[in-house]
Amino acid sequence: MPDVRERTPGRSGQAGPAWWSTGVRMLQFNWSREELDHLDVDQLVMVTQRAGADTVVVNGGGIYAWYPTDVSYHYADSQARELDPLGRCVEACKAAGIRVVPRIDFSRNAAGALDDHPDWFARDAEGRVHSFQGTASTCPSSPYRNTEYAELVLREIATRYDIAGFHLNAGGFRNYCYCVHCQAAFAAAHDAAIPAVRDWDDLSWLRFVEWRKHAVRVHIDFLHSVIRSLGSELVFTGELMGPGRPAQLSAMCPRALSHSFSTLLTTTGEAVPRPLADRSPWWVGMSAKCVRGYRSDVQPLMNLKASMREEGWPRVAVEPAEYRFQIWQAVANGAGLKLPVLGALDPADEHTLPAIAAGYAAVAVRDPAGPPRRPVADVALVWPLATASLYGRDDAEGRAWSHFYGAYEGLVRAHVPFAVLDEQGLVEEDLSQYGALVLPNVAVLSAEQRGALERFVAAGGGLVTSFETGRYDSDDPRKPGPFLDALLGVHRGHSLPVDGGTGYGRVEDHALTSGLGIEFVPQRGEVVDSTPAAGTAVAVTFAESRDLGGSSERYEPPLHTDRALLTTRTFGAGRVVHFAGVAHRLYWTHPHETSADLIAAALRWARADARCLQTNAAPSVEITLESSADTLAVHFVNANRPGDAVATGSGVEVVLDRRRLRSPVSTAGRLSASTVSGGPVTVTVVPDTSEIRLCLPRIAEFETVRLRADGAT
Ligand SMILES: [Zn+2]
């Protein structure tokens, strides 16, 4: 094996944060093989400089080699051998001070290796080879993706070219695999054969689902160890599943892989199912928030293949205003950017290049040298990562994710600064930094996670849960149990569909609902039959729609029942609110304002009205907070289309409670403020209170107000 070649001076062997820890601006060029003979690397450099990117991702190898390879079964066109597009790109970029990260993909083989190496390929339960787009799929557990092929390709590229790392495409499974390597590894782990049939009531199937995440991690960790051996300055990224992406197939689980890559990258666009992309404007920020919780040492990367929502192959053809809106969410939620253009630029790229440039500029401003900014959050929303896998069955979208989407939208709309963590985050994170936790039908929890919830509430935290949260134990999530009922203050029985699919919640006399000014709230879907325990109060009860026989047109109020829909209790020094129905999912599927108001009121009650941020901004504006050593950044992302900029008579006002910010500005004697767009902003530190008041005349698409502590008291 040849030695690792000497790399560009100044990039290797340096102490301090890795270059990818903050401020990453990656531009990806997707070359097609038809473009090989007219790839213009000088134009590539020029476009990269125009966009303000500092790193490019270009085709490297795996399925096809984009250089004259010597690795067996690594398919290279004659043009790739003659022209060496990867090598020419690396030389041109090096001269311009731009990093090059080759894209690699070992998910298939295009060079006919099947006859010689049948064990490299993924198989179904009957032993047939899985294929994708006409090419045989390989298995992450096979030697192909590890020592016998992938390692050779990585070593060949890194030893020949002065690159800055690798980006792995399609790193996980493409389907359930029954190849000899998976069979052997599963048997070694569980002393059993892989179940032939997908049966969610079969414990060995559930074990297989979890084992696949482990198998992918073993594979990715191997690739990372090879890459690290080739140079400590090499980045390693790969596409994780984001919220809503089917976990069962790829098994690229962000929790399992949280330390397997240099930084966590999620793809949005095609990765997000149509209903989410169509209905929620907030899916980019959601993806960033979900992975941001895993690492404080590096910022996440958002891969915005937005156009793939509509097309089969990357083409940045969304409207620039929509693309900018997605970019602003990534910036507001602490992510770096990896944005794609075509290989040989065409008019579609020219169309969106200004939006891409604006995004990189915002990242550069947000991230001066130093560690990543950390989010400032008053509330943590738990995303149902394990729940989607173990309780979601074949409908993770309906049973798990949709509850999360509704809760997410409700928090954005209510301008609550919040972080996202998964179930295991309840154990691994310091929960005392949050005033409240929101668990939207997070059905599967471990005993340890339930214990963490109890301690959090007993110590004074607020808790908002819904539906079957915590009813299933992660050791055997097939049947519900009484788990968590004691903390929630209800005895939960069967899950019942609401008669006729619709009904209402009757608002009872309770402090939680006192400010709502409504008698009934919409209620649809399912309700868990819940009996309040002693000390539990009922804030909303179920009211059944009357059957008027189809002949009467007169109004009759819904029939009152005793079934509890929303209960409250105190537990130790904390407060618990529980929705027996699918309140968060209902807000997602039927975004009625009264549903949002009730969800917001539940959180306020759980927090005993404590809030770190209040504002008169419209619900269509997302507000996030980020802290660094001496500044607090307040980001505003406006979901309205340009021209609909939010403006009220007196402007947009934000009141921050500095005691709850956990930021350097909490103790600063004086504050100065600046905005990215340069618009005027007034800041008032209200004497004798903990309030900081910001006032902006308007919020266009994106705004950042930066508060700097000029001197600590
Ligand atoms: Zn396999």
Could you identify the residue written with the tokens 């910010």? 661
Report CA(64)–ligand 1 centroid distance (Å). 22
Query: Which pLDDT tens digit goes with each residue over 485-520?
Result: 999 999 999 887 765 556 889 999 999 999 899 899
Q: Is 95 exposed, middle or buried (0-12, 13-18, 19+ CB in 10 A)?
A: exposed
pTM of the model as a whole: 0.93
Q: Tell me 155's DSSP state.
A: H
Q: State phi, psi for 619 to the nearest 5 degrees.
A: -60, -20
Q: State phi, psi for 484 to the nearest 5 degrees.
A: 75, -10
Strand 25-30 and strand 55-61: pairing?
A: parallel
| Alpha helix ranges (H) inside 201-307 | 203-230, 247-250, 274-279, 283-292
Could you identify the residue written with the tokens 């080739």? 230
The confidence band for 281, taking pLDDT boundaries of 50, 70 and 90, is confident
Q: Is 585 exposed, middle or buried (0-12, 13-18, 19+ CB in 10 A)?
A: buried
Average the pLDDT over 543-561 and give the result: 68
Report CA(513)–ligand 1 centroid distance (Å). 54
Report CA(140)–ligand 1 centroid distance (Å). 6
Report CA(57)–ligand 1 centroid distance (Å). 29
Segment 558-564 long-range contacts (CB within 8 Å, at least 24 positions apart) = 558/503, 558/504, 558/506, 558/520, 560/506, 563/527, 563/529, 563/530, 564/490, 564/530, 564/531, 564/532, 564/538, 564/540
Residue 271 confidence (pLDDT): 40
Which has the closest alpha carbon to 94: 17, 2, 161? 161
Report CA(628)–ligand 1 centroid distance (Å). 45
Report CA(197)–ligand 1 centroid distance (Å). 16
Report CA(248)–ligand 1 centroid distance (Å). 14
Do 357 and 53 form a contact (C-beta atoms < 8 A)? Answer: no
Do 355 and 323 form a contact (C-beta atoms < 8 A)? Answer: yes
Report CA(178)–ligand 1 centroid distance (Å). 5
Which has the closest alpha carbon to 422: 479, 469, 381? 381
Report the alpha-carbon distance of residue 65 to residue 80 in Å, rounded: 7
Query: Which pLDDT tens digit goes with each residue over 369-411?
Result: 778 889 999 999 999 999 999 999 988 888 999 999 999 999 9
Residues in the chain, overall count: 713
Report the alpha-carbon distance of residue 485 to residue 576 in Å, rounded: 11
Report CA(572)–ligand 1 centroid distance (Å). 50
Do 301 and 427 form a contact (C-beta atoms < 8 A)? Answer: no
Integer CA distances (angstroms), 13 to 8, 91, 234, in order: 11, 21, 11
Report CA(181)–ligand 1 centroid distance (Å). 5
Report CA(123)–ligand 1 centroid distance (Å). 7
Of the two residues 198 and 306, the one the predictor is more confident about is: 198
H/E run at residue 450: helix 447-458
Helices and strands per DSSP (H, E), number in the chain: 19, 30
Query: Which pLDDT tens digit goes with each residue over 423-437?
Result: 999 999 999 999 999
Which has the closest alpha carbon to 673: 697, 706, 711? 706
Other Cβ atoms closer than 10 A to 401:
29
Query: Which pLDDT tens digit goes with each residue over 342-362?
Result: 666 666 677 788 999 999 999
* One-letter identity of residue 581: G
User: What mean pLDDT is reported for the chain?
Assistant: 88
Report CA(184)–ligand 1 centroid distance (Å). 9
HEC string for 369-421: CCCCCEECCCEEEEECHHHHHHCCCCCHHHHHHHHHHHHHHHHHHCCCCEEEE
H/E run at residue 157: helix 150-160
Of the two residues 429 and 677, the one the predictor is more confident about is: 429
Integer CA distances (angstroms), 14 to 24, 70, 136, 259, 368, in order: 18, 32, 42, 21, 18
The confidence band for 304, taking pLDDT boundaries of 50, 70 and 90, is confident
Q: State phi, psi for 529 to the nearest 5 degrees.
A: -60, 110
